Structure 1
Amino acid sequence: MARVGAELRRQDFVKATVKVIAEHGVANATTRRIAAAADCPLASLHYVFHTKDDLFYAVYESLFELPQQALAHVPAGTTAAETVAEMLRQLVAWLAANPDLARAQSELFLWTLRNNPEMASKIYSVAIETTEQAIGRSVGARLDKAALKAASRLLIHLFDGLLIAWSTHRDPERLKVETETACQALSLLIASH
């Protein structure tokens, strides 16, 4: 039997954890259930991830990168407001295409906020910084630092709100209308700078 490298095993556990969280929630994402979903021995899970917090942080990092990849492919609009609004549209398109992943990400963040506020603060800071960088790459010098920070925070807040709404109603037409309203709000903020 061939040995599986630690990095490959790590990826298996991250994927299995996302699946378990999407199906059973964070509270029921036991290491035993995760190891079974990865079709690996429980001891391997504990070897690769020393604590459940380490595993959950790795999962959150992997989930956070997925919607951020959508931001990398946004074409620049004629104005900074149009560009950033399109970034939100792309994130929502990712959400609609990956509702289980988005819900698992949200649920994991809320669990972390309750159980490890310091880690939640770190995760939120990384989200803000990464979003600021993505917006900065797309709009260049068209936004000053204060506007860039305000736009990235509002974009994250709007996305999180749309995620909650979408998880509740699952109506694609309603999501489209709500997204356009959110894009207008984001555009108005940017235009005011």
Structure 2
Amino acid sequence: MARMGADLRRQDFVEATVKVIAEHGVANATTRRIAAAAGCPLASLHYLFHTKEDLFYAVFETLFNLPQQALEHGPIGTTEAEAAAGLLRNLVHWFIAHPDSAAAQYDLFIWANRNAPEMAASIYAEALVSTQQAIERSVGYSVDQELLGVVSRLMVQLLDGLIIAWSAHRDDDRLRDETETACEALGMLVSSRLPRKKAARRTAS
């Protein structure tokens, strides 16, 4: 029971941190403010997270894992182009429904790049792996690894760019329109790369 209580309290602090960062930014996300937002004693926060960096990493993990759930709902058996576009669309729609998470993730990543670059690099690498796995799961077979790497990197970069732009203009309809343009561009890249890959394999055989 004690372990369950600690896990629940830990999640309370993580959720409070997301809200505080979204509202006040990382620079003003003090442990005192986070504890107040969670409705928990400050001593409990310091007991569960020895440093603010430990807390931020836990938040990073949560912000990374939650939107990945959107990747699990991509259509199965589609083409590579349709799978990549569908997954990007699902991710953007998840962030539209969770604006605090989008704001906190962006601010935290900027903070990590400056203060904890190894953490930022680790999160980015995990995002690429999860994206690659989601694409293969959607198409239902193993995709050429070189193509998979190119598509996954572009998909993550497009998502980051869309979210950054959205943080400035805050227009959901505009974000949806820009997402469709990004999906079209992503699909065109995949379609243009596939014929060359297949031709190369036929020549080699």
Output the TM-score relative to the length of structure 2.
0.88
Kindly report which structure 2 residues correspond to 1:60-79, keeping only aligned pairs within 5 A, or say none: 60-76=60-76, 78-79=78-79
Structure 1: segments with no counterpart, 5+ residues: none
Shift of 1:3: 9.9
Shift of 1:59: 0.4
Alpha-carbon distance in structure 1 between the residues aligned to 2:77 and 2:190: 13
Shift of 1:8: 1.1
Residues 147-170 of structure 1: per-residue CA shift (max 9 Å, x gap): 111111111100111001111112
Classify 1:77/1:137 alpha carbon distance in 2 versus 1 (closer, same or farther; 3 Å): closer
Alpha-carbon distance in structure 2 between the residues aligned to 1:83 and 1:124: 21
Alpha-carbon distance in structure 2 between the residues aligned to 1:169 and 1:50: 37
Shift of 1:4: 7.3
Structure 2: segments with no counterpart, 5+ residues: 195-205
Q: Do the aligned residues in 2 keep the contact of 1:22 with 1:101 (CA within 8 Å)? A: yes
Alpha-carbon distance in structure 1 between the residues aligned to 2:153 and 2:179: 16
What code does the residue aligned with 2:109 have? F
Residues 62-118 of structure 1: per-residue CA shift (max 9 Å, x gap): 011121101101113642101110111111111211122111111111101110111
Alpha-carbon distance in structure 2 between the residues aligned to 1:142 and 1:177: 31
Partner of 2:145: 145
Q: Do the aligned residues in 2 keep the contact of 1:132 with 1:148 (CA within 8 Å)? A: yes
> Highest CA radius of gyration, 1 or 2?
2
Q: Matched residues, percent identical?
A: 66
The secondary structure found in structure 1 opposite 2:186 is: helix
What code does the residue aligned with 1:7 have? D
Partner of 1:165: 165
Kindly report which structure 2 residues correspond to 1:9-48, keeping only aligned pairs within 5 A, or say none: 9-48=9-48
Partner of 1:101: 101
Q: Do the aligned residues in 2 keep the contact of 1:81 with 1:187 (CA within 8 Å)? A: yes
Residues 117-139 of structure 1: per-residue CA shift (max 9 Å, x gap): 11111111111111111112112
Q: Kindly tell me the number of residue pairs found equivalent between the two proteins.
A: 192
